[in-house]
């Protein structure tokens, strides 16, 4: 079903840039025309709207479309494209009256009553789509909607699920579907029992867990896998309905977070849509926060993950104004500064996103989200945030031919993201620290970010071709096929850096009898000798050899666990204060395997520890070529991103510090340099020497 990259660019031959606009019932219709004029003034070409089931079909079979008809008319008059976000989650009352058993039952078997979720001022909450009749009714609504608007000239795309995820449901219908899923995946009760370590007689006896930390890890694990499969399936139903009626308009969905855990696997979901988007709400401002570095790296990590999910992608929601949670929680308001809009918007552009929509144009005025989000003021007057957005929109429109076809350079280093590790973390760490895995991923990512080293987020299913090194952050769960893939990657000349505890839980979620398991102990040349103990404090370690450009005696920190290790063929190249090995290096086949006896990725992510960052980056880049263009040296929070189209390049240099910084970019001398943003640099002997303003960026075009 997936449309290939090329044909999407042909279908959407511009960069959609604009904002979420209408989420009934706000803003009121009387303001729309003036607002669409303001869209044009800002250079915005696209508006996203929410079409909510219970708003349109409050009574079965009677559809109220007049507001949306008017909105489409105005969009056509002002040449604004419309993205329809279909919201089936707010189920009308009459559906519940007709089928009371379609209500969700939470994990504790309690019925979830519709009460109006914070984001849905029209009330309602989703029903269980495993209820066949309720599912049919929602798809019938979707069908009617697509028939009504498919021929509107302003229609740009169908976004079939807002922040797609499925909460837990333990109703009888879901249990029936789960049982069928088990039959399909295991074939016999014997095989399920072997996986679960139980002695069920029939499939029907196997329950859905009744608590998030069910004592049977394998059962909870299967439940996570089932839920993510089920979500993909239900997205597919919607896509099929839309495609049957309107085969020409692209169909997408967007996630709340690319590295989502628990109930959504974005890599699975992306297989059933034309392309993928994300919300990227970083609620707090970065530039008033002294911890800015460690908070900031979440943002580019989201964008690189989104690129891995869907090379053609959109940022579907970027916070345009402060987040509010009603007046009583004003102290929790997070201000969004113009600088936040500037640095976030341009970072999205620099990552090659093909569309960007703010959330939202005007401040909300109904419900707990009021008066949040607005890019402009309630009276229609502009803001300095809107001024930043206008500048970026103008640039994107002007450079659309380049940006549409440009891509980031090929990465040489990968970071393994395995959603199944997050399942195990949720279970095994549920009372401890549920963000260990995400922090470990972020720690590995920021080590590369700090070196401006492009990185690819890879999954066990992806091809790992073209990569010279892969990092395995917090790799506590491992399937045999991933172990084989790691082994042959190193054998063929690749470099692997693994944190400790590799494969602690095996494919059946049992604790492994040997860590690392099987052939991997030869790959790394070590074996763990004792069960690792949870550490509340960080732990120091020091390198004993030169690693890349790092001298010996480099001081680093790890956290969370210390793994006692016996070296077999590996050489200990860093030690803890007691002299025991903290980092091991082993040669295997044509490649190298590095094993850490603790978790510096987690530590570095939480503390923005540059020294630890540097060690992770130095190891991962040992096999990498230094490619041009690149920054000659790093002077603080300076970061460069590149977009390429054939021989043309666009360089985005970001200065996250609040004072101007001098930068030197090394290029190969044949390029002509044009300044697209920022001050004119000095260009000589293949070097671009310039100044980038505080909390600002410069853009250079090389051709
Ligand atoms: Zn259910």
Model pLDDT for residues 413-439, shown as the tens digit of each residue: 999 999 999 999 888 875 566 688 999
Ligand 1 centroid–CA 132 distance in Å is: 10
Model confidence pLDDT, tens digit, residues 160-204: 999 998 888 999 999 999 999 999 999 999 999 999 999 999 999
Expressed in angstroms and rounded, the spacing between residue 649 Cα and the centre of ligand 1 is 51
Q: What is the pLDDT of residue 531?
A: 83
Mean pLDDT value across residues 651-655:
97
CA distances from 695 to 292, 299, 454 (A): 11, 16, 22
CA of 179 to the centre of ligand 1 (A): 13
Q: How far is the CA of 173 from the centre of ligand 1 (A)?
A: 5
Residues in a beta bridge with 674: 701
pLDDT grade, residue 2 (50/70/90)?
very low
Which CATH code fits 413-620? 3.40.50.880
Backbone angles phi, psi at 274, to 5 degrees: -70, -40
Give the full edge-to-edge strand order of the sheet including 661-666. Answer: 630-631, 661-666, 687-692, 682-684
* Distance from the Cα of residue 281 to its chain's centroid: 11
d(Cα 280, Cα 297) in Å, to the nearest integer? 12
Q: What is the mean pLDDT of residues 465-492?
A: 97
CA 239 to ligand 1 centroid distance, Å? 21
Three-state SS at 561: strand
Prior bond of 25 cis (ω within 30°): yes
**Above 60 in pLDDT, residue 6?**
no
For the chain, how far is it from start to end, CA to CA, in angstroms?
A: 37
- Closest Cα to residue 595, out of 445, 486, 512? 486
Task: Determine the pLDDT at residue 503.
Answer: 97
Ligand 1 geometric centre to CA of 202 (Å): 21
Ligand 1 centroid from CA 83, angstroms:
30
Q: How far is the CA of 232 from the centre of ligand 1 (A)?
A: 16
Rounded mean pLDDT of 310-326?
91
- What is the distance in A from the centroid of ligand 1 to the CA of 101? 9
Cα–ligand 1 centroid distance for 470 (angstroms): 40
Answer whether residue 61 shows pLDDT above 70: yes
Instruction: Tell whether the model's pLDDT for residue 499 goes beyond 90.
Output: yes
Q: Rounded to an integer, what distance in angstroms lies between the CA atom of residue 403 and that of residue 512?
A: 48
pLDDT at 330 over 70: no
- Per cent of the chain over pLDDT 90 is 82
Query: What is the CA(422)–ligand 1 centre distance, in A?
Result: 23
DSSP 274: S
Strand runs (DSSP E) across 589-672, as ranges? 591-596, 630-631, 638-645, 648-655, 661-666
- C-alpha 260 – ligand 1 centre gap (Å): 21
The CATH topology of domain 5-170+208-405 is TIM Barrel (3.20.20)
Gap from CA of 166 to ligand 1 centroid (Å): 10
294-298, 301-305, 539-543 — which is least confidently predicted?
294-298
Q: What is the spatial distance between Cα 624 and Cα 509, in angstroms, rounded to a whole number?
A: 35
Distance 167 CA to ligand 1 centre (A): 10
Distance (angstroms) between ligand 1 centre and the Cα of 192 equals 22
Does residue 18 surpass a pLDDT of 90? yes
* CA 100 / ligand 1 centre spacing (Å): 12
Residue 302: φ, ψ to 5°: -60, -45
Nearest CA-CA partner of 663 in 622, 702, 696: 696
User: Per mean pLDDT, which range of 189-203, 247-261, 562-576 is the poorest?
Assistant: 247-261
Q: What is the pTM of this model?
A: 0.96
How far is ligand 1, taken at its centre, from the CA of residue 105, in Å?
Answer: 6
Instruction: Report whether pLDDT(60) > 80.
Output: yes
- What is the CA(129)–ligand 1 centre distance, in A? 7
| Ligand 1 center–CA 207 separation, angstroms | 13
CA–centroid distance, 420 to ligand 1, in Å, is 23
Distance from residue 87's CA to the centre of ligand 1 (Å): 19
Distance 495 CA to ligand 1 centre (A): 45
In angstroms, the CA 69 to CA 65 distance is 6
Whether 573 shows a pLDDT value over 80: the answer reads: yes
What is the average pLDDT across 253-257? 95
Local structure of residue 61 (DSSP, 8 states):
T
**Centroid of ligand 1 to alpha carbon of 111 (angstroms):** 10
Centre of ligand 1 to C-alpha 551, Å, is 58
CA of 63 to the centre of ligand 1 (A): 27
Q: Ligand 1 center to residue 25 CA distance, Å?
A: 29
**Ligand 1 centre distance from Cα of residue 171 (Å):** 4
| CA distance readout (Å), 243 to 4, 153, 272, 274 | 16, 17, 11, 10
Contacts of residue 413, Cβ cutoff 8 Å, sequence gap at least 6: 448, 453, 454, 455, 456, 467, 468, 469, 470, 471, 620, 621, 624
Element (H, E) at 397: helix 384-398
Instruction: Indicate the average pLDDT of the chain.
Output: 93
Secondary structure E strands in 307-404? 313-319, 356-359
Q: How many angstroms does the Cα of residue 174 sit away from the middle of ligand 1?
A: 4
Q: Distance from the CA of 175 to the center of ligand 1, in angstroms?
A: 7
Report how far ligand 1's centroid is from the alpha carbon of 115 (Å).
18
Q: What pLDDT is attached to residue 436?
A: 87
Mean pLDDT (whole number) for 494-501: 98
Rounded to whole angstroms, how far apart are CA atoms 22 and 42?
A: 18
CA of 435 to the centre of ligand 1 (A): 28
Average pLDDT over residues 233-243: 98
Q: How many CB atoms lie within 10 A of CB 4?
A: 10
Determine the Cα–Cα distance for residues 375 and 338; give it in Å rounded to an integer. 10
What distance in angstroms lies between residue 548's CA and the mean position of ligand 1's atoms?
A: 54
pLDDT value at 638 more than 90: yes
Mean pLDDT (whole number) for 358-364: 96
E strand intervals along 211-365:
251-255, 275-279, 313-319, 356-359
DSSP string, 581-609: EEEEEEEETTEEEEEESS-HHHHHHHH--
Q: What is the Å distance from ligand 1's center to 199 Cα?
A: 25
Q: Is the pLDDT of residue 644 over 50?
A: yes
Ligand 1 center from residue 231 Cα (angstroms): 12
**Number of Cβ atoms within 10 Å of the Cβ of 97:** 9
- Going from the Cα of 170 to the center of ligand 1, the distance in angstroms, rounded, reads 5
Q: Describe the crossing of helices 384-398 and 338-350 by its angle, rounded to 10 degrees.
A: 20
pLDDT of residue 433: 66
pLDDT tens, position by position, 125-172: 899 999 999 999 999 999 999 999 999 999 999 999 999 988 889 999
Q: Which fold has domain 630-702?
A: Immunoglobulin-like (2.60.40)
Distance of CA 654 from the midpoint of ligand 1 (Å): 47
| Nearest-angstrom CA–CA distance, 183 and 486 | 31
pLDDT in tens, 512-565: 999 999 999 999 999 999 888 888 889 999 999 999 999 999 999 999 899 999
How far apart are the C-alpha atoms of 557 and 543, rounded to whole Å? 11
Query: Do β-strands 46-52 and 17-22 pair in parallel, antiparallel, or remain unpaired?
Result: parallel
Quote the ligand 1 centre to 131 CA distance (angstroms): 7
Nearest to 96 by CA among 73, 75, 71, 113: 113
Quick count: other Cβ atoms within 10 Å of Cβ 421?
25
Name the helix (H) or strand (E) containing 307: helix 298-309
User: How many Å lie between the centroid of ligand 1 and the Cα of residue 484?
Assistant: 38
Q: How would you class 243 by CB atoms within 10 Å of its CB: exposed for 0-12, middle for 13-18, buried for 19 or more?
A: middle
Write down the domain spans for the chain: 5-170+208-405, 413-620, 630-702
């Amino acid at each position: 079903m997936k449309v290939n990259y090329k044909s999407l660019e042909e279908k959407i031959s511009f960069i959609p840039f604009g904002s979420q606009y209408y989420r009934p019932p706000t803003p009121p219709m009387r303001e729309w025309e003036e607002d669409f004029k303001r869209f044009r003034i800002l250079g915005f070409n696209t508006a996203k709207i929410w079409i909510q089931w219970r708003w349109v079909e409050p009574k079965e079979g009677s559809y109220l479309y007049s507001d949306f008809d008017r909105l489409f008319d105005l969009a056509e008059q002002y040449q604004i494209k419309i993205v329809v976000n279909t919201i089936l989650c707010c189920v009308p009352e009459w559906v519940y009256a007709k089928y009371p058993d379609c209500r969700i039952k939470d994990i504790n078997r309690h019925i979830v009553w519709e009460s109006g979720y914070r984001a849905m001022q029209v009330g309602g909450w989703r029903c269980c789509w495993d209820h066949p009749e309720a599912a049919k009714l929602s798809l019938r609504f979707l069908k009617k909607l697509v028939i009504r608007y498919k021929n509107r000239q302003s229609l740009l795309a169908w976004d079939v699920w807002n922040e797609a995820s499925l909460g837990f449901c333990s109703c009888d219908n879901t249990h029936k579907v789960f049982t069928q899923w088990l039959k399909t995946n295991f074939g016999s009760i014997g095989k399920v029992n072997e996986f679960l370590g139980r002695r069920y007689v029939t499939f029907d006896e196997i329950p859905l867990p009744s608590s998030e930390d069910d004592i049977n890890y394998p059962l909870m694990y299967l439940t996570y896998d089932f839920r993510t499969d089920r979500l993909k399936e239900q997205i597919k139903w919607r896509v099929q309905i839309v495609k049957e009626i309107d085969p020409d308009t692209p169909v997408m969905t967007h996630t709340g977070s690319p590295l989502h855990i628990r109930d959504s696997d974005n890599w699975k979901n992306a297989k059933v849509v034309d392309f993928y988007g994300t919300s990227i709400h970083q609620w707090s401002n970065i530039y008033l926060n002294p911890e800015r570095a460690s908070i900031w790296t979440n943002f580019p990590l989201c964008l690189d993950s989104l690129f891995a999910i869907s090379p053609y992608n959109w940022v579907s929601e970027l916070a345009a104004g402060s987040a509010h949670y009603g007046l009583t929680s004003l102290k929790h308001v997070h201000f969004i500064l113009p600088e936040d809009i500037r640095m976030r918007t341009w970072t999205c552009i620099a990552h090659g996103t093909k569309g960007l929509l703010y959330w939202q144009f005007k401040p909300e005025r109904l419900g707990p989200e009021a008066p949040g989000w607005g890019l402009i003021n309630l009276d229609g007057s502009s803001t300095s945030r809107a001024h930043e957005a206008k500048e970026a929109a103008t640039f994107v429109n002007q450079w659309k031919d380049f940006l549409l076809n440009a891509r980031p350079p090929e990465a040489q280093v990968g970071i393994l993201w395995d959603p199944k590790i997050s399942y195990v973390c949720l279970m095994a760490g549920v009372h401890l620290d549920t963000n260990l895995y995400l922090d470990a991923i972020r720690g590995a990512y920021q080590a590369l970010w700090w070196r401006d080293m492009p990185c690819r987020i890879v999954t066990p299913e992806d091809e790992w071709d073209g990569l010279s090194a892969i990092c395995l952050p917090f790799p506590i769960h491992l399937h045999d096929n991933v172990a084989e893939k790691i082994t042959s990657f190193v054998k063929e000349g690749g470099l692997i850096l693994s944190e400790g505890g590799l494969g602690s839980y095996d494919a059946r979620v049992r604790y492994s009898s040997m860590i690392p398991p099987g052939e991997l102990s030869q790959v790394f040349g070590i074996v763990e000798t004792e069960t690792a103990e949870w550490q509340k404090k960080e732990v120091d370690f020091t390198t004993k050899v030169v690693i890349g450009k790092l001298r010996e005696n480099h001081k680093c920190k790890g956290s969370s666990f210390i793994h006692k290790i016996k070296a077999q063929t590996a050489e200990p190249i860093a030690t803890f204060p007691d002299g025991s090995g903290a980092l091991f290096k082993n040669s295997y086949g044509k490649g190298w395997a590095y094993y850490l006896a603790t978790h510096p990725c987690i530590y570095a992510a939480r503390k923005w520890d540059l020294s630890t960052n540097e060690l992770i980056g130095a190891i991962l880049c040992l096999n990498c070529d230094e490619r041009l263009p690149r920054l000659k040296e790093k002077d603080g929070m300076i970061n460069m991103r590149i977009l390429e189209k054939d021989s043309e390049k666009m360089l985005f240099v970001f200065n996250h510090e609040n004072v101007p910084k001098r930068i030197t970019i090394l290029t190969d001398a044949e390029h002509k340099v044009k300044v697209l943003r920022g001050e004119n640099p000095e260009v000589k002997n293949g070097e671009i020497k310039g100044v980038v303003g505080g909390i600002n960026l410069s853009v250079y075009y090389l051709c």
